[in-house]
Amino acid sequence: MTNNRNQGKVLTLVVLISGSGSNLQSIIDAIAAGTVNARIAAVISNRTDAYGLERAANAGIETIVEPHQQYSDRKQYDQVLARHVDSFSPELIILAGFMRILSPWFVTRYSGKILNIHPSLLPKYKGTNTHQRVIDAGETEHGASVHLVTEQLDGGPIVIQARVPVERDDDVESLRKKVLEQEHLIYPEAIKLFAQGRVRTE
Ligand code: GAR
């Protein structure tokens, strides 16, 4: 935090995860290094076994687990989620491998204030299993995108993208690794742009 003192206002983030949290880690590290002028107020997971919860705890960040199974409909869960989010008054919500579709209600409530990272060169390969689909289609290029979240699944305005070549001997695992490496660079960069007021929809 001390590194950020001279860079103006610190952006407050809440990060939503479901799994490993390697993107979360890249954001934690970028903040610690002083390259992103932000503070993670809380990490919220819909899964109790998400390794990202450990990463957050190790960094001294408050964690909340809110399993979705006990809620019968999406909006009901999202209302509970919003109560957690609002208790930290974040200026930006970061979806970092949060594997749930958010309701239109939630997305509208935080319009222009939710970023997501997706493992493809959007608008290509929305949805799941992107690496396998890229291989099956014989693509020579793949990548990752950070975008603002709208009601269109994986369809919001793109903030930043990174490309990787698809080699003949690539499989799902090697592609996943290559793409993740790029994700860890572009997600902190996108948050930095947002913190600098350089991300807006027109
Ligand atoms: C990342 O590859 C991210 O792009 C993807 O989940 C992974 C999470 O990894 N997200 C999606 O597919 C969202 N549709 P992480 O938990 O190690 O950050």
Distance 6 CA to ligand 1 centre (A): 32
Q: Collapsing DSSP states into helix, strand and coil, what is residue 180?
A: helix
Q: Which of 27, 180, 186 to mutate to test the pocket of ligand 1 (most atoms within 8 A of CB)?
A: 180
Element at 11 (helix H, strand E): strand 11-17
State pTM to two decimals: 0.95
Distance 167 CA to ligand 1 centre (A): 22
Distance 99 CA to ligand 1 centre (A): 8
Atom of ligand 1 nearest to the CA of 176: 2
Cβ-Cβ contacts under 8 Å for 11 (sequence gap 6 or more): 37, 38, 39, 91, 92, 191, 194, 195
pLDDT, position 63: 98
Please list the pLDDT of the chain residue by residue as tens digits (202 residues): 344 444 578 999 999 999 999 999 999 999 999 999 999 999 999 999 999 999 999 999 999 999 999 899 999 999 999 999 999 999 999 999 999 999 999 999 999 999 999 999 999 999 999 999 999 999 999 999 999 999 999 999 999 999 999 999 999 999 999 999 999 999 999 999 999 999 988 7
In the structure, which protein residues have their CB atom closer than 6 angstroms to any atom of ligand 1?
Answer: 17, 19-23, 52, 96-97, 117-119, 180, 183
